[in-house]
């Protein structure tokens, strides 16, 4: 019974397993079938897609190639435009630089033209002003007129420049024209002007006055310079009348004549120094007299030659004191006294003889050196006195500047020049005195050295005689 149950149970289980397997196999087959179907459908779809891709691939490739070519062309165009833009930017910068340069040149030319108007008026001779007055006035008027265009201003200025060029051409070739000028006699006379380069001459028709025309401050008329010889005056008159001849040339353009006018005589120059200048000159004169006296005194001072000292010593060695005295007396000046003192004290000790001889040197030394200190003091004091005079003169000049101002540079320069006169006098006096003082000091030292040499030679000789006797 139990076995039957077991078989029955096993059969049931086996049947269940088989049923389950069959069901699973059936489900698997169904799934496989569906998968095969899906796969076939997918393959068909893929094939269709591939066909569609193959069909659309060529047009797209052509379109892509076309687009790529268009991109390349656009890039090239862009690069060309960028290059063109950079080139135009560079050209624009260059143009801006040229415009700025041209503007600076224009401003420079305008400023030079404006300056030329004043310079031309100042440079032309007073006798030529009537010929250029109209053009000058027009150029001045349009220069300050705001209603006149810049082009019109430039045209008027250029006309004046052209007139100046024509003037230069005419002046280089020489020209004559009539006018009036102030003669050296102080009269305003009519005559003929002769223009030759930068030099203008004038020959009076009323008198024989003639000369170079010069410009003076605060004088609207042309002034004829003085200082010409009769021959030069006649030459200028001949050229003015005949149109040909030789003219005296002045390379300085009248400056030499002006300098000759202001050149003062020696007395006038000394008077400019004032009281201090007179004191310096007096000091220099006194120093000069003392220097001449001192030179004569030192030059006439004589000393003994070494041979004379040897003769005196030889006479003492021989015991002939009389001969020694006679030889010593033949020597002029203080050397004779020194030798005589030494002969009298020949038996004394060396120290005593040395003191006696050097005492004689000390007695004569002040005579040789007198007035040398005064000369040294004069050489030092003269420049200081000159500086004092200069300071006084500068104080006066600045006082005048305080009152009248600096409107007249010539007057200011004249005052300063006069103030420096004392400094000039001080240096003129001090330098020669300093040289003479050095020369006299050296001569005096030489004379004293010669005296000392005589004394030492004599003392050494006496010492040798004393040692020989002992």
- The DSSP secondary structure of 235-256, one letter per residue, reads HHHHHHHHS-S-----TTTTHH
Asked if 214 and 287 sit in the same domain, the reply is no
Q: Are 142 and 153 in contact (CB under 8 A)?
A: yes
| Distance from C-alpha of 385 to C-alpha of 279, rounded to nearest angstrom | 8
Flag whether pLDDT at 77 surpasses 80.
yes
Flag whether pLDDT at 173 surpasses 60.
no
Phi, psi of 146 (to 5 degrees): -75, -20
Mean pLDDT (the chain) is: 75
Which of the listed residues 84, 99, 114 is the one where a domain comes to its end? Answer: 99
The answer to the question of residue 290 being in a domain is yes
Q: Predicted confidence band at 190 (pLDDT cuts at 50, 70, 90)?
A: confident
DSSP class of residue 259 equals H
Strand partners, 180: 190
Query: What pLDDT sits at residue 369?
Result: 81
Q: Predicted confidence band at 231 (pLDDT cuts at 50, 70, 90)?
A: confident
Which of the listed residues 262, 291, 318 is the one where a domain comes to its end? Answer: 262
CA 352 to chain centroid:
70
Flag whether pLDDT at 126 surpasses 70.
no
Asked if 189 and 284 sit in the same domain, the reply is no
Asked if 331 and 441 sit in the same domain, the reply is yes
Flag whether pLDDT at 226 surpasses 70.
no
Asked if 27 and 175 sit in the same domain, the reply is no
Asked if 192 and 279 sit in the same domain, the reply is no
CA 44 to chain centroid:
106
The residue ranking higher by pLDDT, 442 or 233, is: 442
**Best-predicted range by mean pLDDT among 127-131, 199-203, 250-254?**
199-203
Which of the listed residues 83, 99, 115 is the one where a domain comes to its end? Answer: 99
Strand-pair category, 188-196 with 199-204 = antiparallel
Average pLDDT over residues 262-274: 68
pLDDT > 90: percent of the chain: 1
Phi, psi of 284 (to 5 degrees): -65, -40
Q: Kindly report the number of other CB atoms within 10 A of residue 55's CB atom.
A: 9
Asked if 199 and 341 sit in the same domain, the reply is no
| Distance from C-alpha of 420 to C-alpha of 403, rounded to nearest angstrom | 21
Query: What pLDDT sits at residue 311?
Result: 77
| Distance from C-alpha of 329 to C-alpha of 309, rounded to nearest angstrom | 12
Listed residue (368, 338, 325, 340) closest to 455, CA to CA = 338
Flag whether pLDDT at 411 surpasses 60.
no
* Cα pseudo-dihedral 256, 262, 266, 272, rounded to 10: -140
Query: What pLDDT sits at residue 216?
Result: 60
Flag whether pLDDT at 441 surpasses 80.
yes
Phi, psi of 407 (to 5 degrees): -70, -25
User: What is the tens place of the pLDDT at every residue in 149-159?
Assistant: 667 767 777 77
- Name 181's Cβ contacts closer than 8 Å, sequence gap at least 6: 127, 188, 189, 191, 193, 202, 204, 213, 221, 222, 223, 224
Asked if 243 and 334 sit in the same domain, the reply is no
Flag whether pLDDT at 464 surpasses 70.
no
Asked if 403 and 321 sit in the same domain, the reply is yes
The answer to the question of residue 160 being in a domain is no
Phi, psi of 370 (to 5 degrees): -70, 150
Query: What pLDDT sits at residue 44?
Result: 83
The answer to the question of residue 34 being in a domain is yes
The answer to the question of residue 270 being in a domain is no
The answer to the question of residue 114 being in a domain is no
Q: Are 264 and 251 in contact (CB under 8 A)?
A: no
The answer to the question of residue 155 being in a domain is no
- Name 468's Cβ contacts closer than 8 Å, sequence gap at least 6: 317
Flag whether pLDDT at 266 surpasses 70.
no
| Distance from C-alpha of 117 to C-alpha of 143, rounded to nearest angstrom | 10
| Distance from C-alpha of 426 to C-alpha of 380, rounded to nearest angstrom | 9
The answer to the question of residue 330 being in a domain is yes
- Name 235's Cβ contacts closer than 8 Å, sequence gap at least 6: 245, 246, 247, 248
Domains held by the chain: number: 3
Of all residues in the chain, what percent are helix, strand and coil, respectively (each to 5)? 80, 5, 15
Strand partners, 201: 194, 212
Asked if 225 and 290 sit in the same domain, the reply is no
Listed residue (376, 365, 370, 367) closest to 449, CA to CA = 365
Minimum mean pLDDT among 51-60, 330-339, 406-415, 449-458: which range?
A: 406-415
The token pair at 15 is 């049947």
The answer to the question of residue 144 being in a domain is no
Asked if 206 and 343 sit in the same domain, the reply is no
Query: What pLDDT sits at residue 431?
Result: 92
Strand-pair category, 175-182 with 222-224 = parallel
Listed residue (374, 388, 386) closest to 427, CA to CA = 386
Minimum mean pLDDT among 84-88, 207-211, 295-299, 373-377: which range?
A: 207-211
Domain that holds residue 347: 275-469
Q: Predicted confidence band at 373 (pLDDT cuts at 50, 70, 90)?
A: confident
Minimum mean pLDDT among 69-78, 209-218, 343-352, 363-372: which range?
A: 209-218
| Distance from C-alpha of 264 to C-alpha of 261, rounded to nearest angstrom | 8
DSSP class of residue 371 equals T
Minimum mean pLDDT among 124-128, 307-311, 451-455: which range?
A: 124-128
Query: What pLDDT sits at residue 393?
Result: 80
pLDDT > 70: percent of the chain: 69
- Name 233's Cβ contacts closer than 8 Å, sequence gap at least 6: 208, 209, 210, 211
Minimum mean pLDDT among 180-184, 385-389, 432-436: which range?
A: 180-184
Minimum mean pLDDT among 250-259, 371-380, 430-439: which range?
A: 250-259
Asked if 233 and 329 sit in the same domain, the reply is no
Q: Are 367 and 298 in contact (CB under 8 A)?
A: no
- Name 443's Cβ contacts closer than 8 Å, sequence gap at least 6: 298, 299
Concatenate the DSSP letters of all residues of 179-243 into one string: EEEE-TTS-EEEEEEEEETTEEEEEESSSS-EEEEE--TT--SEEE-----HHHHHHHHHHHHHS
Asked if 207 and 87 sit in the same domain, the reply is no
Listed residue (372, 370, 421, 426) closest to 396, CA to CA = 421
């Amino acid at each position: 019974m139990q076995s039957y149950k077991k078989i029955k149970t096993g059969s049931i289980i086996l049947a269940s397993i088989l049923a389950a397997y069959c069901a699973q196999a059936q489900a698997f087959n169904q799934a496989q079938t569906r998968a095969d179907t899906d796969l076939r459908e997918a393959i068909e779809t893929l094939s269709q897609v591939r066909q569609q891709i193959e069909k659309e691939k060529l047009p797209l490739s052509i379109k892509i190639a076309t687009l790529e070519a268009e991109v390349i062309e656009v890039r090239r165009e862009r690069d060309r435009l960028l290059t063109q833009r950079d080139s135009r930017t560079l050209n624009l910068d260059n143009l801006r630089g040229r415009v700025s340069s041209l503007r600076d040149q224009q401003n420079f030319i305008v400023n030079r033209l404006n300056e030329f108007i004043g310079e031309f008026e100042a440079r032309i001779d007073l006798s030529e002003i009537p010929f250029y007055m109209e053009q000058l006035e027009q150029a001045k008027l349009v220069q300050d007129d705001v209603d006149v265009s810049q082009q019109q201003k430039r045209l008027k200025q250029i006309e004046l420049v052209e007139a100046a060029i024509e003037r230069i051409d005419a002046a280089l070739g020489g020209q004559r024209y009539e006018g009036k000028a102030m003669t050296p006699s102080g009269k305003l006379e009519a005559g003929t002007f002769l223009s030759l380069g930068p030099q203008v001459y004038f020959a009076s028709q009323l008198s024989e006055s003639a000369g170079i025309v010069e410009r003076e401050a605060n004088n609207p008329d042309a002034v004829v310079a003085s200082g010409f010889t009769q021959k030069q005056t006649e030459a200028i008159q001949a050229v003015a009348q005949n149109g040909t001849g030789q003219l005296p040339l002045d390379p300085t353009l009248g400056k030499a004549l002006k300098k000759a006018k202001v050149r003062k005589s020696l007395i006038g120059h000394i008077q400019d120094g004032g009281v201090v200048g007179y004191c310096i000159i007096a000091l220099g004169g006194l120093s000069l007299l003392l220097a001449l006296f001192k030179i004569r005194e030192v030059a006439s001072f004589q000393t003994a030659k070494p041979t004379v000292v040897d003769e005196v010593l030889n006479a003492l060695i021989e015991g002939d004191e009389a001969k020694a005295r006679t030889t010593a007396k033949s020597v002029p000046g203080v050397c004779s006294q020194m030798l005589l003192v030494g002969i009298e004290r020949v038996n004394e000790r060396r120290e005593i003889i040395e003191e006696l001889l050097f005492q004689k040197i000390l007695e004569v030394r002040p005579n040789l050196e007198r007035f040398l200190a005064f000369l040294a003091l004069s050489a030092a004091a003269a420049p200081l006195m000159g500086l004092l005079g200069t300071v006084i003169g500068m104080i006066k000049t600045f006082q005048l500047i305080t009152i009248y101002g600096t409107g007249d540079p010539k007057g200011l320069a004249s005052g300063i020049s006069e103030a420096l006169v004392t400094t000039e006098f001080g240096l003129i006096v001090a330098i020669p005195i300093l040289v003479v003082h050095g020369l006299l000091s050296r001569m005096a030292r030489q004379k004293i050295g010669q005296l000392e040499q005589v004394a030492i030679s004599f003392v050494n000789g006496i010492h040798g005689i004393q040692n020989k006797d002992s």
